Amino acid sequence: MTGVVLALAGALVAGSFAARLWRDWDASRRHHSLAWAWSLTLYAVGMVALVVGLLLGWSPGSYGAYWLTGALVNVPLLAVGELHLLVPSGRRLWWTVAVAAVTWAAVAVLVSSFDQDALRAATAVGGIPQGADVLAGQPAYAALQPLTLTGTAIVLLGSVWSALRRRRPAVLLIVLGVAVAGSSSAFVRNDMDALVPVALSAGVAIMYAGFRASTARRGARRPADVDGASPTRRP
């Protein structure tokens, strides 16, 4: 039950973060704010799917939502937001990449078969299924590394570069949040499921704190213009 409460708290924080980004985008129409607003919205959806899986048991629907929003779609959108900041002139290309990545991920999940025995086994112990057990050999699992490794590298390296170039140490707090949230995948692989909601909730909370600190320094006139990143995670 503790995991459910923590996951629900993480969903609320991610939802609040997403709402802030949607307001920033509405006020500024900056492309990176839009990409990150979608990313944090999906982060919140993934946390809700985690709550459902832990509370009611895992099904292809709940695990598919968890995998799609967390493992496959979230990271590319984070990277797209970072690319909009680093190279604003390439916005058409970056949105083309975003649409292609999201389409690829969605189709991959829809055509994949889920191992029902692995889902039932995780449900029986109140744990979180490993992607390798549920989706081994399926398109949804094959899409994991191409989508997440490249995206994660862009997010982390771009954020560190932005922090150093613009002398904004608060952005490094955002990078820390990325790392904390991303550690959830290692906890799943090592059967430390109880720490997954902790990492995901703490990660997004740290990210939100870093974002608020960075935007506060910019002043009220340009609340969305912050060089940083949003949380990345991989189940």
Please write the tens of the pLDDT for every residue from 125-167.
999 999 999 999 999 999 998 998 888 889 889 888 877 877 7
- The Cα–Cα gap between 210 and 215 comes to 9
What is the dihedral sign for C-alpha 210, 163, 228, 28? positive
- The Cα–Cα gap between 23 and 149 comes to 30
- The Cα–Cα gap between 111 and 147 comes to 17
- The Cα–Cα gap between 8 and 10 comes to 5
- The Cα–Cα gap between 66 and 234 comes to 10
Please write the tens of the pLDDT for every residue from 11-68.
999 999 999 999 999 999 999 999 999 999 999 999 999 999 999 999 999 999 999 9
Q: DSSP for 43-85, please give it.
A: HHHHHHHHHHHHHH---HHHHHHHIIIIIIIHHHHHHHHHHHH
